[in-house]
Structure 1
Amino acid sequence: MMHTRKIRLMMASAALLTFAGPAFALDGADVMKKLSAALEVNGTSLAFDKAEVDGDVVTATGVKFQVATKPGDSVNIGEMTLEGVEETDGGGYYAETVSFPDVNVSEKEDSVSVKDIAIGGLSIPGNASGGTIDDILLYESFGTGPIEVKVKGKDVFKIASIESKLTRQENDAGFDFDATMAGLNADLSDVEDAKAKDAIDKLGLKQIDGQVTMKGSWEIASGKVALDEYAFDFKNIGRLNIAMDFSGYTLQFLKSLQEANKAAQANPNKEEANQAMGLAMLGLMQQLTFNSASIRFDDASITKKALDYAGSQQGVTGEQLAQSLKGLVPIMMAQLNLPELQNQVSAAVNDYLDAPKSLTIAAEPEKPVPFPMIMGAAMGAPNTIPSVLGVKVTAND
């Protein structure tokens, strides 16, 4: 009797495991299809031959990246491996890491290579057309190793690494993001055009070395996007930083933008599609509000070199050219009928040319300005824009 009970228990357990197995098994094809669907809302997609599953690892082969606006073109990725994959609420997926094979493309003596391409913490939505934070394709980190471009067998452009991070704020209020493109190097020593070669030599730009950095945040409820830093920093040239802050870029705005983009892609008449997209963008811009913006350049010796070179082309010294520019700027600004800004620009240019350190153009209105007001001013009274936006120009601060 006991023996019979044990047999029945074993058979029941086997049956339970048989029925439970498929419920917990990953569907590799579904993972890839939903990843492609999430990319499609931004005008791209993925095609693949097959997706095999081994535990929590999905390996897709024959992967191709397709841009909707160029249906005849595709990029062969080859193999794509998603590790630590698990299904999430709503039919989506989460992958701890996504890796790709190194890229090596060459034609005769020219080549491009990208190594160690990887994504960390990839969230694939179950419903890419939804309107919540969980319906957006997100990643926690993205990076590459060295990127090299060779022309005629010689290195002309290199990037040591790219790293970017996307961090969810507490209670899913938004995101903080940052990115770094480090070890950016360009070799301009083999430029063939004689005039360009002379300028490169005089300006000391045979080897360009620097990095690009970005930092910012996005608040979902208000749609506030704050780009605190978007900087290009190069040795012996300078650092150019662009910052901006605007509101209204909500999830609904993003969804409307994606729908407009999708409609434009589906229209076979490209001229009509572009016109429709332009009108859609004009309508969406009405929802945005301008908070602030700035452009700042910190000199690292390029200004004096540029003045000396430009002066030599006109038969004068760099100092003489600087003095000429001081007198020319007020005349040019006077034509714009902006007396207050004219004085600021003239004073800033004078200070900067006397001792090049930094030059800043900032727009900080007392209160946020709706984009329709800015567009109205641009069409009706362009000379009022500086006062509407609170534009200020300063040097060496």
Structure 2
Amino acid sequence: MAFPTVRRRAATFIVPALLIGVSTLPAAAFEPTGNTIADAYLDVLESGRAKVVSIGSVETTAQVIALKNIEMETTGLKSGTVAIAITELVNGSLNKDGRLKVDLLTVEGLEATSGKNGTVHVSTAVAENITLPSPAQLKGPTGDVKDDYWQFLFDQLDVQGIRLSGNGASPIDVQQIRLRQSDIQNGVSLKSEVSVAGLNIPADSLGPKGSKQLTDLGYDSLQVSAEVNGAWEPLTGKLNIDNSTVMFKDMGDVSVSLTLGGFTKEIMAKLQAADDATEPEEVLGLLQSLTFEKAELRIDNEGLYARALETQGEKYGMDSKTMEMQMSLALPLLLGQLQDEAFRTQVNDALAAFIANPRALTLAANPTTIPTFGLLAGAGILAPQSLPGVLGLTVDANLAK
């Protein structure tokens, strides 16, 4: 099942909308407020992808600047409007490089409407110890607007009460999205955490096919939470994703850990430059030099297996027990395409154990000799049967967490 295009675009729109707007063309300058920090913030908005049309009022104290009823217009492919009821900046200051630093940035009552992409509503968003990109960084040397949202540095960004609506489907709600950054060195966060709580995706928002798949299983919505943790070691070039889990209520959990190598500062800079220049072939070439060190995928069943078994059984006129028995008998045939006999036996045994006691499946990769992605791509094309050995794949059922 996949999100319709409108929802995918809306989801990627949230954080940028909170801070810099979403139009595709740079806009004319706003009317200065007379406050240096407020004008610097509005300058960042307009250096991104929005035009500030009006500001209801600007209120200042010794430490707090409050901008009320900001109205913005967006043009181009994502034409529409952005309205922010209240924006507060606590202890704002300008760095020597022109970047605006704010101890506490609060946005309340944000609503962004973007044509066919629907509407995003955010109740509150609070960023702690945030440093925004300078207008020059957002525009780049040629004046083109850049989508370098990674240049926003903060200790924590807490977004609550998110609603994505449009296209006549039921709205998608998110109770909270929290992002944390730490170990910031030379303007780059080396450790990041993302958590999502209370994501509710109604079946009808998944489109006709996705909605039918979900309702056939007896669900009227997807209720999701997630935790993702990552770290980058620029000296060694290692990129680690640890303890990353997506939890589907009454379905199951999917957990992933991954370690890649070769992400040095030089490679990261080249990848960024190639991406900015829209050169996919160069990006692919750079990715081939990266290394695959280890990975693990774990799926914990929390009810989905039984529902899927029942649904498939009904489709073929069988009860769940008969369907389960047929699956067990069919395993050798289904796995016949696996040419690595030892790996085929291992997969067969793990699946048989899971069918008998459907708790968890784990796929792990621990290569003895660390391969590059270029080598893996070549093996996948020329000798796919060698991949289980090259990757050091193992499959297990019902391992303890």
Q: Deviations over 1:287-315 (max 9, x none)?
A: 31111122111111221221122111101
Q: Which moved more, 1:348-357 or 1:151-160?
A: 151-160
Q: Which moved more, 1:315-324 or 1:142-151?
A: 142-151
How far did residue 348 of structure 1 move? Answer: 0.8
Shift of 1:217: 1.4
What is the CA-CA distance between 1:28 and the residue it aligns to?
Answer: 5.2
Which secondary structure does the structure 2 equivalent of 1:291 belong to?
strand
Which among 237, 242, 246 is matched to residue 232 of structure 1?
246
- State the distance in 1 between where 2:207 and 2:45 align: 45
Q: Aligned partners of 2:196, 2:77: CA distance in 1, in Å? A: 31
Number of the residue aligned with 1:148: 163
Aligned to 2:181: 166
Instruction: Identify the match of residue 355 of structure 2 among 353, 356, 362.
Output: 353
What is the correspondence of 1:197-276 to structure 2 with a 5 Å cutoff?
Answer: 200=214, 203-264=217-278
Secondary structure of 2:277's counterpart equals helix
Match of 1:7 in 2: none
CA distance in 2, matches of 1:259, 1:179: 26
Q: Assess if the C-alpha contact under 8 Å between 2:40 and 2:100 holds in 1.
A: no
Cα deviation for residue 165 of structure 1 reads 0.7
Are the structure 2 counterparts of residues 47 and 190 from structure 1 closer, same or farther at C-alpha, using a change threshold of 3 Å?
A: closer
Distance in 1 between the 2:205 and 2:66 partners? Answer: 45
Is the 1:326–1:350 Cα contact (8 Å) retained in structure 2?
A: yes
Matched residue of 1:337: which SS?
Answer: coil
1:285-364 matches, cutoff 5 A: 285-364=287-366
1:143 offset after TM fit, Å?
Answer: 1.7
DSSP-derived class of the 1:334 partner: coil
After TM superposition, the score normalised by the length of structure 1 is 0.73
- Matched with 1:21 is none
Give the secondary structure class of the aligned counterpart of 1:305. Answer: helix
In structure 1, the partner of 2:154 is 139
Corresponding residue for residue 177 of structure 1: 192
Partner of residue 77 from structure 2, selected from 51, 72, 76: 72
Shift of residue 83 of structure 1?
Answer: 3.3
Report how far residue 226 of structure 1 moved: 0.9
Closer, same or farther: CA 35–92 of 1 in aligned 2, 3 Å: farther
C-alpha RMSD of matched pairs (Å): 3.8
Shift, 1:345, TM fit: 0.9
User: Please, which of 80, 97, 103 is the counterpart of residue 96 of structure 1?
Assistant: 103
Check 1:31–1:146 CA distance in 2 against 1; reply closer, same or farther (3 A cut). closer
- Contact preservation (8 Å) 1:166, 1:178: yes
**Which deviates further from its counterpart, 170-179 or 247-256?**
170-179
1:212 is displaced (CA, Å) by: 1.4
Given that 2:309 and 2:324 are in contact with CA atoms closer than 8 Å, whether structure 1 keeps it comes out as: yes
| Counterparts in 2 of 1:359 and 1:152: CA distance versus 1, 3 Å | same
- Would the aligned equivalents of 1:34 and 1:92 in 2 still touch at CA under 8 Å? no
CA–CA distance in structure 2, aligned partners of residues 298 and 48 of structure 1: 48
Q: Which residue of 1 aligns with 2:396?
A: 394
Distance 1:283 1:29, change over 3 A: farther
Q: Identity, % of aligned pairs?
A: 21
- Looking at structure 1, the residues matched to 210 and 51 of structure 2 have their Cα atoms a distance apart, in angstroms, of 47
The residue identity in structure 2 corresponding to 1:77 is V
Q: CA deviation at 1:167?
A: 1.0
Write out per-residue CA displacement over residues 84-132 of structure 1, whole angstroms, 9 at most, x where no aligned residue: 222234443322223334234689xx975321023222223557479xx
Change (3 A) 1:375 1:96: same
**Residue ranges of structure 2 left out of the alignment (5+ in a row):** 1-34, 142-149
Match of 2:280, SS state, is helix
Deviates more, 1:330-339 or 1:380-389: 330-339
> Is the 1:111–1:149 Cα contact (8 Å) retained in structure 2?
yes
TM-score by length of 2: 0.72
For the pair shown, which has the larger CA radius of gyration, 1 or 2?
1
Aligned residue for 1:282?
284
Deviation at residue 137 of structure 1 after TM alignment: 3.2
- Contact 2:313–2:319 (Cα < 8 Å) also in 1: yes
Q: Distance in 2 between matches of 1:191 and 1:361?
A: 28
**1:35, 1:124 within 8 Å by CA — same for their partners in 2?**
no
